[in-house]
Structure 1
Amino acid sequence: MPDVLQERNGVAVLVCDPDGPVLATTEAALDLIGTAGFGGAELVAVPAARLDPSFFSLGTRFAGEIMQKFVNYRLRLAVVGDISAHLAASGALRALVAESNRHGQVWFVPDLAALDARLAAR
């Protein structure tokens, strides 16, 4: 399935195809942000599997760069999928995920149902 714009609990969400290209550069993230903005999305749901492994290694600063791009363009980001192996390997990542999930700009959720629940609660 291609990336598709959906309304989920009153929010325009670009739901990214799990089999789409891996986001391995900030340029790829900017392309995705442009697609989302052009389509009128307020939030982009990116499968965790589409993020380059360096995203989950905070020492690379890749996660921070990507998250900052979304903030700069006033677009929310949801990382969707099981990241438990990454969390088990990094206390810093666990802290980032916990802090992000307390706010509304970037969320880490296990699946689209959890994203829907978060959107409904807002």
Structure 2
Amino acid sequence: MIKTIKKVVVKKHSENGIEIAEVLSDQLLINNESDGLDLVGTLYFQGYDRMILHKDTITPKFFDLKTGLAGEVLQKFSNYRMRLVIVGDFKSHTSESLQAFIYECNQGKIVNMVEKLSQAIERLSN
């Protein structure tokens, strides 16, 4: 069996005494629920409880709420109490249900979706 190794860089941001992991890759990091769990577990055991992912490292299926993938993956973040901010342009998604989902996520602290890295760091440093 051949296992695909993904090139991943974890960039550490420190703000207000809080360490935040920004996960960078030129490949998709989350294709399914298992990928989400692996990512949460890896960073959790490295001592992080706050993570930034970029939208382009997540499969487009995640943003099609009918697939259920977003709920499955985000449940893993919630179970481990890993705060997540996804950075990207969400205005291009015209789905009313996705826009409502993003709005609802942004009302809480566990999962947020923002346009800019600076907004992600600000949210996670509180």
TM-score between the two structures when normalised by the length of structure 2:
0.85
1:105 equivalent among 93, 105, 110: 110
2:54 aligned residue: 47
Which of the two has higher C-alpha Rg?
2
1:59 aligned residue: 66
Asked if 1:93 is matched to 2:88, the reply is no
TM-score between the two structures when normalised by the length of structure 1:
0.88
Equivalent pairs, count: 119
1:23 aligned residue: 30
1:74 equivalent among 78, 81, 91: 81
Higher strand proportion: 2
Of stretches 111-120 and 24-33 in structure 1, the one that deviates more from structure 2 is: 111-120
Between the aligned partners of 1:119 and 1:66, the Cα distance in structure 2 is: 19
Identity, % of aligned pairs? 34
Once the two structures are TM-superposed, the CA of residue 20 in structure 1 deviates from its matched residue by 4.0
Higher helix proportion: 1
